[in-house]
């Protein structure tokens, strides 16, 4: 047999398209070529594969070797194709049976000694295989033509198999090196590999490293309440206060208030992280991501870019929290790129030859000082900024961007007396608040199937309509503060969340009053 076909997958954020590795051995001058839009890493696999096969005791065929990575229009990158190329050469030269490669997928980078190195994207690859298998299974009694509906097997490096094993519906095997894997494929009883079960499946969430707890926050009952409302409705939040007021501390505790991820959410988030440069570990399973990029980040780093398109921080924070500290210190053009994805929950990156659509349904939490020195409004008169300097500082944030932030609060600095009496100012734990948040989220999902932040205009009219007193109060506030239509509807959404926390059927004037106070005057709303 001079032709062998091996299945693998390409790394891609949120998905893993199937790649067919075709290996053909022909007569002629010895050569080794790889076609199918490979990048430099893939082309270098020729030397790694040659050395690995020879060092493992296999015969490297002295023939004309052609490797085709199909589809040809899909860019191939990373060293994950070393293993399928090596197996294809062994099968085409008759050193392992071709039948052993059927209904199986392989990925891994080879060292020169034949060991299989860890790789990124193992979870995304497993998700892609599971989705393809699920779509291939047909109802009982239907005809199946040219479709193998057996549960697929995926062979990965031993160090990467645990994360892939989190995906249900497939069998994942971890192989330490090429000889062990080949012995398994040849049916050797002494070297049989067993399916991997991830330890994270046996580890309850409450036994993992705990998240920062809200009980650590001293005082700030208003800010704690705003954080609870933001968590319950998935609302974006902006905190303004002097240095050391506790803005970053509060933001870091938002993930501990959010409801646990559903199965679909956990799979989606893990697949995105797995295919990114960050990678994914089983310890992150069902943990909502918390991303806090530095204010020197570029627009490409924040929303994605490059060629081919790669995801940015807003996608890596999908279904979690994106925390932007020192918000005015970000470049204004960088912040403006957040406007559309914050509204739509997705972002499309277009290049001349490629286009990618990435999910971006994250919860934005931002923090900032009231002026460049940070002490504007301090009773001790420590502020050194003139009104013009302070106004110029706030002008770095555009009205359209601030219009999309539902909750905007001020955090005053704690006095020494409050700090010394910290035992009297300790509030509720994250677990207590999280239970109220979970109940409010449950009401929202039962009523409309989504969080209140995700409601569109028509749904707001039907779901968030207040009582007569609340409607009068909202109309007067909108006229007084000159709200835009977006701000008007966002106040209604926040009021609906406050009513859900109180288990009220209809938002009342009290709920509207609390929602109105979360809109700051400087926010151009």
Q: How confident is the model at residue 13 (pLDDT cuts 50, 70, 90)?
A: low
**Is a pLDDT exceeding 90 seen at residue 225?**
yes
Distances in Å between the alpha carbon of 473 and those of 484, 495, 522?
A: 16, 12, 21
- Residue 344 DSSP SS3: helix
Q: How confident is the model at residue 106 (pLDDT cuts 50, 70, 90)?
A: very high
- Cα radius of gyration (the chain): 28
Supply the pLDDT for residue 198: 64
**Is a pLDDT exceeding 90 seen at residue 50?**
yes
What's the CA gap between 309 and 350, in Å, rounded?
7
Token match 């204004």: residue?
332
What's the CA gap between 64 and 86, in Å, rounded?
15
Contact, 219 vs 411, CB < 8 A? no
Kindly report the average pLDDT of the chain as a whole number.
86
Contact, 320 vs 260, CB < 8 A? no
Average pLDDT of the residues in 46-50: 95
**Is a pLDDT exceeding 70 seen at residue 434?**
yes
Average pLDDT of the residues in 38-42: 90
Question: Within 13 Å and on the Cβ side, how many CA atoms surround 451?
Answer: 23
The domain made up of 3-200 has a fold known as Ribosomal Protein S5; domain 2 (3.30.230)
Supply the pLDDT for residue 144: 36
**Is a pLDDT exceeding 70 seen at residue 185?**
yes
Q: What 3 state SS string does 274-326 have?
A: HHCCCCCCHHHCCCCCEECCCCCCCHHHHHEECCCCEECHHHHCCCCEEEECC
Question: Minimum mean pLDDT among 77-91, 125-139, 307-321, 404-418: which range?
Answer: 125-139
For residue 306 the two structure tokens come to 């490059």
Average pLDDT of the residues in 62-91: 92
What's the CA gap between 164 and 166, in Å, rounded?
5
Strand order in the sheet with 104-106: 31-35, 64-70, 18-26, 3-9, 104-106, 153-157, 171-175
Token match 């924070």: residue?
317
Supply the pLDDT for residue 272: 84
pLDDT digits (tens, 9 = 90+) for 354-394: 777 888 999 999 999 988 888 887 777 788 888 888 888 88
pLDDT digits (tens, 9 = 90+) for 387-404: 888 888 888 888 889 989
Average pLDDT of the residues in 447-470: 90
Nearest to 198 by CA among 320, 284, 103: 284
What's the CA gap between 84 and 70, in Å, rounded?
13
Q: Where are the domains of the chain?
A: 3-200, 207-454
Supply the pLDDT for residue 206: 46
- Residue 119 DSSP SS3: coil
- Residue 437 DSSP SS3: helix
What's the CA gap between 46 and 87, in Å, rounded?
13
pTM strictly above 0.85: no
Nearest to 56 by CA among 117, 116, 119, 118: 116
Supply the pLDDT for residue 264: 85
The domain made up of 207-454 has a fold known as Rossmann fold (3.40.50)
What's the CA gap between 6 and 101, in Å, rounded?
6
Supply the pLDDT for residue 385: 87
User: Which DSSP symbol is given to 38?
Assistant: B
Percent of the chain at pLDDT exceeding 70: 91
Average pLDDT of the residues in 411-423: 76
Average pLDDT of the residues in 465-494: 90
**Is a pLDDT exceeding 60 seen at residue 285?**
yes
Average pLDDT of the residues in 32-49: 92
């Amino acid at each position: 047999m001079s032709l062998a076909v091996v299945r693998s997958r390409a790394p891609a954020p949120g998905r893993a398209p199937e790649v067919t590795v075709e290996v053909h051995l022909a007569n002629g001058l010895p050569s080794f070529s790889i076609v199918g839009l490979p990048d430099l890493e893939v082309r270098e696999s020729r030397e790694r594969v040659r050395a690995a096969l020879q060092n493992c005791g296999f015969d490297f065929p002295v023939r004309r070797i052609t490797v085709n990575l199909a589809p040809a229009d899909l860019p191939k990158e990373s060293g994950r194709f070393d293993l399928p190329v090596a197996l294809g050469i062994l099968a085409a030269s008759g050193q392992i049976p071709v039948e052993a490669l059927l209904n199986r997928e392989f990925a891994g980078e080879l060292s020169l000694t034949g060991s299989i190195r860890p790789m990124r994207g193992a979870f995304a690859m497993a998700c892609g295989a599971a989705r393809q298998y699920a779509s291939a299974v047909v109802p009982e009694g239907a005809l199946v033509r040219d479709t193998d509906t057996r549960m697929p097997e995926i062979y990965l490096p031993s160090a990467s198999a645990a994360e892939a094993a989190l995906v249900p519906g497939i069998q994942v095997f971890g192989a330490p090196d090429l000889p062990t894997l080949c012995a398994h494929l040849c049916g050797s009883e002494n070297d049989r590999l067993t399916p991997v079960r991830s330890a994270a499946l046996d580890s309850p969430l409450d036994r993992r490293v705990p998240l920062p707890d809200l009980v650590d926050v001293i005082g700030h009952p208003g800010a704690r309440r705003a954080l609870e409302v933001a968590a319950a409705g998935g609302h974006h939040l902006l905190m303004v206060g002097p240095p050391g007021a506790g803005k970053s501390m509060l933001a870091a505790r938002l993930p501990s208030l959010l409801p646990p991820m559903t199965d679909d959410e956990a799979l989606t988030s893990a697949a995105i992280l797995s295919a990114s440069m960050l990678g994914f570990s089983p310890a992150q399973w069902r943990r909502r991501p918390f991303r806090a990029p530095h204010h020197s980040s570029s627009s490409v780093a924040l929303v994605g870019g490059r060629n081919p398109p790669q995801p940015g921080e807003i996608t890596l924070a999908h279904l979690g929290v994106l925390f932007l500290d020192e918000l005015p210190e970000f470049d204004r053009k960088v912040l403006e790129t957040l406007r559309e994805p914050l509204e739509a929950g997705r972002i499309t990156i277009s290049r001349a030859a490629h286009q990618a659509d990435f999910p971006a349904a994250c919860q934005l939490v931002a923090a900032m000082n009231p002026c460049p020195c940070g002490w504007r409004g301090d009773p001790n008169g420590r502020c050194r900024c003139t009104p013009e300097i302070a106004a110029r500082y706030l002008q770095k944030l555009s009205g359209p961007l601030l219009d999309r932030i539902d909750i905007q609060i001020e955090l005053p600095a704690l006095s020494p007396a409050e700090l010394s009496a910290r035992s009297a100012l300790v509030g509720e734990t994250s677990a207590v608040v999280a239970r109220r948040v979970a109940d409010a989220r449950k009401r929202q999902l039962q009523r409309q199937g989504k969080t209140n932040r995700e409601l569109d205009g028509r749904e707001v009219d039907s779901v968030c309509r207040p009582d007569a007193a609340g409607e009068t109060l909202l109309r007067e506030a909108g006229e007084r503060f000159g709200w835009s239509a977006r701000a008007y509807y966002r106040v209604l959404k926040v009021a609906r969340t406050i009513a859900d926390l109180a288990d009220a059927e209809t938002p009342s004037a009290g709920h509207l009053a609390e929602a109105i106070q979360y809109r700051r005057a400087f926010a151009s709303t």
